[in-house]
Copies of this chain bind each other. A is one copy, B any other.
């Protein structure tokens, strides 16, 4: 590995977990699957593998993933197959529709209409119009196309260390992925409301308004640059920032500022959406109503389905000025997958299930924190919980190196888990939503063991 590659690798978002760039990382490490790793490296580009000794997964069911030897791993990481790996209702819906018809949305088809009706029905206010695309990146691209068309402005406000996707524009809006020096004129990034590591803690009077005030500088920057504010885009679970709990009034203040500047408020619900937070939509916990919502990951339980939801007024303004077509977006199979996911969430009462299991998991994590000095803070919501690991509780110095050993060690215990946060020191617990209390207890037990084995400074 060259020095440049080593530097690049160090700069990779910790959210990617333990990741490797090329074959030389594995040679001589005793990695079990060197044959597959070599074959893969010969023709497959772009995506890094998890783990120093990468795992081969061949089967999934519910919260379980299985390797080629039949060993079971408790999945505490994956948020795509959120109604459970290989959920029978979704598999059945995809199978049936794929055998009947898979075209596009330029012919009439009942399933896409039913799905749009059903999806719109889960949103409060006048968030009534659905547009379908294939990935979270495409959803965020479309949201920005809409925001720019409707406002006539170009600038976007995002959080520091954000991640919203992988296209050119959405990559620019993903401030965790490139150097601050390269930030374009149309992007302003503001400090996120981190009550543990940020400028203000939970006891600070008016803490929500104080964090929201950082948005003022973002607005000023975009106006000074001649860009204006087309939109704020924010993931309300703050995944790439370490999974934060914002002050309850934070978004109310932020949305008011963005709207006063003529911008639209885009809630990136690719991660928090579809029940992850113990509410159907992440923004609901903050008592705000976005102008545009973007959806992705769990929407089709692995089938590439994503979407944008907005108001009829905004939709009409966009349609007056522009048009949009996505070949695969909203095709009958994608619509069948999405509809089956909604039905599953509804019939299994997954949203309240998440609230209950999330609270149980949280209590277990807080109990762990009473016994493991390395846990600086426990935060998160629903089935997104995070442990901020520290070398020292006084200084709160990030335990980056220690944290990065944990996914490998947990894998040996039969648990799949990842990292996040700007310092690479946050353990991210983000299992499929069908995760239950006994799964949570198993995770707590393994975390107890692994955290107990980590030596600070090791």
Tell me the A residues contacting B by CB distance below 8 Å.
Answer: 2, 4-5, 8, 12, 16-17, 19, 21-22, 33, 36-37, 39-40, 42-50, 54-60, 65, 78, 80-81, 85-86, 90-91, 94-95, 98-110, 112-113, 116-117, 119-120, 128-138, 141-142, 144-145, 166-169, 171, 177, 296-297, 301-304, 310, 315, 318-331, 333-334
* Distance to closest chain B CB from A333 (angstroms): 7
Q: Which residue of B is nearest A337, CB measured?
A: B98
Minimum CB–CB distance from A47 to chain B (whole Å) comes to: 4
Q: For the complex, give the distance between the alpha carbons of A85 and B168 in Å.
A: 34
Is B80 touching A103 in the complex (CB atoms < 8 A)? yes
Contact B60 A81 (CB under 8 A): no
Smallest beta-carbon distance A295→chain B, Å: 13
Q: Contact: A22 with B319, CB < 8 Å?
A: yes
Chain B neighbourhood of A105, CB < 8 A: 44, 47
How many Å from the CB of A440 to the closest CB on chain B?
Answer: 21
Tell me the bound Cα distance from A334 to B330 in angstroms. 17
Kindly list chain B residues whose C-beta atoms are within 8 Å of the C-beta of A36: 108, 110, 113
Tell me the bound Cα distance from A296 to B326 in angstroms: 12
Distance of A441 Cα from B108 Cα, bound (Å): 28
CB distance from A379 to the nearest CB of B (A): 24
Chain B residues with CB below 8 A from A16, complex form: 323, 325
Does the CB pair A136–B100 fall under 8 Å? no
Looking at chain A's contact residues, is the secondary structure mostly helix, strand, loop, or mixed?
Answer: mixed
Chain B residue with Cβ nearest A302: B102
On whether the beta carbons of A107 and B50 are closer than 8 Å, the reply is yes
A-B contact pairs, 12 of them (CB 8 A): A43-B119, A44-B130, A49-B108, A60-B101, A80-B327, A86-B98, A91-B99, A103-B302, A145-B168, A167-B167, A177-B323, A304-B334
- How far is B328's CA from A304's CA once the two chains are assembled, in angstroms? 6
The reply to whether A54 and B91 contact each other, CB–CB distance below 8 Å, is no
CB pair B56 A109 closer than 8 Å: yes
Are A107 and B56 in contact, with the CB atoms below 8 A?
Answer: yes
Extra inter-chain contacts (4) besides given A95-B95, A134-B135, CB under 8 Å: A2-B320, A49-B106, A94-B98, A135-B135
Identify which of A19, A40, A322 gathers the most chain B CB atoms within 10 Å of its CB. Answer: A40
Q: By CB atoms of chain B within 10 A, which of A48, A116, A166 has the most?
A: A166
Determine whether the beta carbon of A49 is less than 8 Å from that of B304.
no
Distance between Cα atoms of A117 and B315 in the complex (Å): 43
Nearest Cβ on chain B to A154's Cβ, whole angstroms: 10
- Minimum Cβ distance to chain B for residue A276 (Å): 15
Whether A98 and B91, one on each chain, are in contact in the complex, defined by CB atoms closer than 8 angstroms, is yes
For residue A87, give the distance in angstroms from its CB to the closest CB of chain B: 10
Q: How far is the CB of A418 from chain B (nearest CB, A)?
A: 9
* Listed residue (A12, A45, A141) with the most chain B CB atoms within 10 angstroms of its CB: A45
Which interface residue of A22, A44, A104 has the most chain B CB atoms within 10 A? A44
- Within the complex, the shortest CB–CB distance from A316 to chain B, in Å, comes to 8
Taking CB atoms, residues of chain B closer than 8 Å to A326 are: 46-47, 135, 137, 166
Report B-chain residues with C-beta under 8 Å of the C-beta of A120.
43
**CB nearest to A319 among chain B residues:** B21
Residues of B within 8 A of A17 (CB): 106
Closest CB of chain B to A5's CB: distance in Å? 6
Would you give the shortest CB distance from A14 to chain B, in whole angstroms?
13
* Min CB gap A109→B, angstroms: 7
Taking a contact as CB atoms under 8 Å apart, the answer to whether B116 and A43 are in contact is yes
- A233–B93 alpha-carbon span in the complex (Å): 38
Known: A39-B113, A60-B102, A168-B169. Is A325-B47 also a contact (CB below 8 A)?
Answer: yes
Cβ–Cβ < 8 Å partners of A331 in chain B: 302, 304
Question: Are B168 and A57 in touch, CB under 8 angstroms?
Answer: no
Given known A-B contacts A100-B86, A101-B58, A113 and B40 have beta carbons under 8 A apart: yes
When chains A and B are docked, how far (Å) is the Cα of A101 from the Cα of B331?
22
Q: Which of B37, B100, B103, B323 is in CB contact (< 8 Å) with A48?
A: B323
A46-B325 contact, Cβ under 8 Å, with A55-B108, A58-B101, A319-B22: yes
- A89–B128 Cα gap in the complex (Å)? 38
Cβ distance A10 to chain B, nearest Cβ, rounded Å:
12
In the complex, A397→B438 CA distance in Å?
74
